[in-house]
Chain A
Amino acid sequence: MIALIGRRAAGLVLTLALVSIVVFVVTDVLPGDPAAIMLGTSARPDTLAALRQELGLDQPAIARYLAWVGGLLTGSFGTSITYGVPVAGLIAERLAVTLPLAGLSIVIAMILALPLGIAAGYRRDEPLDYGAMAFAQTALTLPNFWIGLILILIFSTWLGWFPAGGFPGWSAGLLKALQALLLPAVALALPQAGILTRVARTAIVELAGDDFVRAARGKGLSQHVILWRHIVPNALVPIITILGLQFTFLIAGAVLVENVFSLPGLGRLAFQAVAQRDLVVLQSVILLFATLVIVVNFLVDLCYLLLDPRLRDAR
């Protein structure tokens, strides 16, 4: 098992190295000169040359790549062209919003979806099942930025319970920060909950017909014991797969919701960096996204190993 984990970890490092090259090449060929964007259309050639030199854009691509990767290895992500501050700090500030937001969404989605999905699978083809599936279908059809707008309308504009957007920072107090994150987290969680409900229900329904469940029934175990001791633990494998996918989606794909709530998250940082051709920021953020996806996949695989002893013997 240790060897298995070791091999996975080595693969992880190799993937990251490849990703860093792809990210650099792809962002480097984007049309648009960051210096020209900063100086605008009044810029004179000499002003432009001075700024390109100041930003290190006059260096050849290989030199810039090596400087970037070298910096990454020593923990320095370079300096943002747009903000003029170290990228590491910039990303850390954004992670302090994005990670809690994604975590909160996952928790909300699980609280909504798991009981509902399990109950629906357990009470298949009963009114509860139909109700749960109707909820799941609706939740996953609604775009999350639209849910966000509706939540703002109800809870910020009408009731005044929550701010309509923005993030006061953790320094403003846990309560205030959570208050700012709750509506966007719900907006992100609802479509996820829809998917998760369906996955949980399907897993329960499929497992209910399996041999080991029939065997358990044959032993005369009660319905509850069969559900909670035998079916649910086995249903966790597909559920965790989906959770892993959702988490990475929430980190990278929350741009629209971050816009609706004007949250300073990583998605919006990447979005801005594209528009301003802040390549230093863009490259580091994409690499971070890639790292998160890879690490989360790795963790999901580890979870499989913990949940399913049969996998531990695999090569």
Chain B
Amino acid sequence: MGFAVGEAAARARGPAGASRGVQGLGLRAVVLMAGRVVGAVGLLRHCGRRAVVAALALSWCAVLSPAAFAARSDVVVGMAIEPQGLDPTGAAPVAIGQVTWQNIYQGLVRIDRDGKIQPQLAERWTVSDDGRTYTFALRQGVKFHNGEAFDASTAKFALDRARGANSTNPQKQFFSVIDAVTAQDPATLVVTLKEPAGNLLYWLGWPASVMVEPKSAQVNKTEPVGTGPFKFVRWAKGDRIVLERDPNYWNAAQPARIQRVTFRFIGDPQAQAAALRAGDVDAFPEFGAPELYGNFQKDNRFVAVVGNTELKVVAGMNNQRKPFDDKRVRQALMLAIDRPLLIEGAWSGLGQAIGSHYTPNDPGFVDLTGVYASDKAKARSLLSEAGYPNGFTFTIKVPQMSYATRSAEVLQAMLAEIGVTMTIVPTEFPAKWVSEVMTGHDFDMTIVGHAEPMDIGIYARPDYYFGYRNAAFNDTIRRAEQTTDEEGRLRLYGEAQTMLAEDVPALFLFVMPKLGIWDRKLKGFWANEPIPSNDLTEVVWED
């Protein structure tokens, strides 16, 4: 999950956590009502404004040629979290990729809006029969924003840097399978592997695998240099990052359609809503407050699209600790949960129930919500069978993000119905949570969103916080990772999903929706988020 978790978590709530906590329910209700009033008044004003605009437009059309109505060439995009540095190859926070990936930096390959792998700086590639040698034919004539050329030696530098001894790459494990990288000639890169790795191309499409060049690599954290359609201009810390279209972009056939992009960082959900309504921000690809979302769906100035993310909200259990070392106990807890009701309570009904650690976005998804669908009688009998006829008491360590606290409150009520008492222990995220739960393994249950795509393999890690040990599962994951044939690999991932659904190492709850809101005239945003990102290459104003 990487910072994935932290970021994603924070994305859903933002650093305004403390303030919202203080407000309490009463204020929240007042604010909600206020939001509705704004919506209504906004609508009235809007109608008036539209009439005036239409009249003006008609009168001007008579005088001016259509060329006079040039579309806007800049866009202001809102994000909840400000990135920590701008080098996705140096730190994990999701927000880094959401600003830079595909906008500033590009990879050998990329992941498209449907989650499919597409060629990028590598035009095509061949894989040897044993699945251990990848030969990439690199695109020629590509230049970095600082004028340096991209070729096989740059690509070799980028990959060797990511897997090197001093690398702080957040996904270093992706590259550990690489045995050698060779620049055969400027246009040909050969990557040989220690063992076959069916996910290699997918991994190379991630933000952590983007191409950087030697001269700028050290300062990418503050002055990013890549091969993408936008150049970095300015970062006003705490407020905004500005990018501009690169006039020398290598792909002249498909340049960015917007001249200037400004990312603005607004953590507080009320402030996000206000910024959209006041026109300060044109788009919020991931809006933070589901309870305010309905107002935007009704407001015809905006388009509000509910998409899927990769963020899986799960309540992980300490599988090494009693009573969670007993599979029947974990299954009983899963049976006690009514997922649609939980989603209603935690995220205003927006979000999709899951039965395993996989999202409907991911290739090879199997719907397993039926395996332990809500059944309280069965849950009670399983508990008795496991030796807990009168239930038991345990604690859950809950990060301060709103999706986590709300979900935990609903869980508490649902588990009480089968006689299980859950005590909520607020745990500061990320610092305290990482040290206590993640590295210290000191917890009964916890709840976080795992943001990284296709990260089902975390259950096969012996030292991971769930403490889940299943040799058959590990074997399935290993075989899946080594299978280069797509169909076979996805079948194995299907088996792995089923194993998790049956073993319940964590309570699989729901996939966080991507609550996108943008101006009605803006086109080209991604509806779904197969990888955490804000690819703005195709974004454009249209009337």
B452 interface residue per 8 A CB criterion: yes
Establish whether residues A33 and B435, one from each chain, have CB atoms under 8 Å apart when the complex forms: yes
Instruction: Count contacts on A: residues with CB < 8 A to the other chain.
Output: 57
Establish whether residues A167 and B438, one from each chain, have CB atoms under 8 Å apart when the complex forms: no
> Known contacts A40-B3, A149-B270: does B222 contact A157 (CB below 8 Å)?
no
Establish whether residues A262 and B432, one from each chain, have CB atoms under 8 Å apart when the complex forms: no
> Known contacts A145-B19, A157-B38: does B173 contact A163 (CB below 8 Å)?
no
Among B15, B45, B93, B430, the residue within 8 A (CB) of A158 is B45
- Expressed in whole angstroms, the Cα–Cα distance for A259 and B407 within the complex equals 25
A177 interface residue per 8 A CB criterion: no
Q: Tell me which residues from 112 to 159 in chain A have a Cβ below 8 Å from any Cβ of chain B.
A: 145-146, 149-150, 152-153, 156-158
**Proximity bits, A30-43, B CB within 8 Å = 1, else 0:** 11110011111111
Establish whether residues A157 and B167, one from each chain, have CB atoms under 8 Å apart when the complex forms: no
Establish whether residues A83 and B266, one from each chain, have CB atoms under 8 Å apart when the complex forms: no
Among B45, B167, B222, the residue within 8 A (CB) of A50 is B167
A191 interface residue per 8 A CB criterion: no
- Which residues of chain A are within 8 angstroms of B280 by Cβ–Cβ distance? 156, 163-166
Establish whether residues A166 and B432, one from each chain, have CB atoms under 8 Å apart when the complex forms: no
Query: What is the CB-to-nearest-CB distance from A257 to chain B, in angstroms, rounded to a whole number?
Result: 9
Question: Which residue of chain B lies nearest to A271 when distances are taken between CB atoms in the complex?
Answer: B15
- Expressed in whole angstroms, the Cα–Cα distance for A92 and B215 within the complex equals 29
By DSSP majority rule, is chain A's interface helix, strand, loop, or mixed? helix
- Which residues of chain B are within 8 angstroms of A309 by Cβ–Cβ distance? none
B34 interface residue per 8 A CB criterion: yes
Establish whether residues B239 and A166, one from each chain, have CB atoms under 8 Å apart when the complex forms: yes
> Known contacts A41-B434, A47-B172, A164-B275: does B265 contact A259 (CB below 8 Å)?
no
A51 interface residue per 8 A CB criterion: yes
B274 interface residue per 8 A CB criterion: yes
Query: What is the CB-to-nearest-CB distance from A81 to chain B, in angstroms, rounded to a whole number?
Result: 8
A44 interface residue per 8 A CB criterion: yes
Query: What is the CB-to-nearest-CB distance from B446 to chain A, in angstroms, rounded to a whole number?
Result: 12
B142 interface residue per 8 A CB criterion: no
- Expressed in whole angstroms, the Cα–Cα distance for A169 and B240 within the complex equals 10
> Known contacts A260-B270, A262-B264: does B168 contact A39 (CB below 8 Å)?
yes
> Known contacts A85-B222, A149-B31, A163-B280: does B172 contact A276 (CB below 8 Å)?
no
Q: Tell me which residues from 104 to 129 in chain B have a Cβ below 8 Å from any Cβ of chain A.
A: none
B16 interface residue per 8 A CB criterion: yes
Instruction: Count contacts on B: residues with CB < 8 A to the other chain.
Output: 65
A306 interface residue per 8 A CB criterion: no
B322 interface residue per 8 A CB criterion: no
Looking at B84-92, B249-257, B332-340, B385-393, the stretch in contact with chain A turns out to be B84-92
- Which residues of chain A are within 8 angstroms of B171 by Cβ–Cβ distance? 42
Question: Which residue of chain A lies nearest to B234 when distances are taken between CB atoms in the complex?
Answer: A169
Among A44, A83, A145, A259, the residue within 8 A (CB) of B85 is A83
Establish whether residues B92 and A259, one from each chain, have CB atoms under 8 Å apart when the complex forms: no
B481 interface residue per 8 A CB criterion: no
- Which residues of chain A are within 8 angstroms of B428 by Cβ–Cβ distance? 32
Establish whether residues B1 and A54, one from each chain, have CB atoms under 8 Å apart when the complex forms: no
**Proximity bits, B155-177, A CB within 8 Å = 1, else 0:** 00000000001111111110000
Among A51, A85, A160, the residue within 8 A (CB) of B168 is A51
B462 interface residue per 8 A CB criterion: no
> Known contacts A38-B93, A50-B167, A164-B278: does B238 contact A269 (CB below 8 Å)?
yes
Query: What is the CB-to-nearest-CB distance from A309 to chain B, in angstroms, rounded to a whole number?
Result: 46
Establish whether residues B15 and A275, one from each chain, have CB atoms under 8 Å apart when the complex forms: yes
Query: What is the CB-to-nearest-CB distance from A31 to chain B, in angstroms, rounded to a whole number?
Result: 5
B-side interface residues toward A, CB under 8 Å?
A: 1-6, 15-16, 18-19, 22, 27, 31, 34, 37-38, 41-42, 45, 82, 84-85, 91-93, 165-173, 221-222, 236-240, 264-268, 270-271, 274-275, 277-280, 428, 430-432, 434-436, 438-439, 452, 465
The 10 closest A-B pairs by CB, nearest first: A32-B431, A264-B238, A40-B3, A40-B92, A40-B2, A164-B274, A164-B278, A84-B221, A42-B2, A156-B278
21 contacts between A and B (CB under 8 A): A31-B431, A36-B439, A39-B2, A39-B3, A40-B5, A41-B3, A41-B438, A46-B172, A54-B166, A83-B85, A85-B222, A152-B278, A153-B34, A157-B274, A160-B279, A166-B275, A255-B18, A259-B15, A259-B267, A260-B268, A264-B239
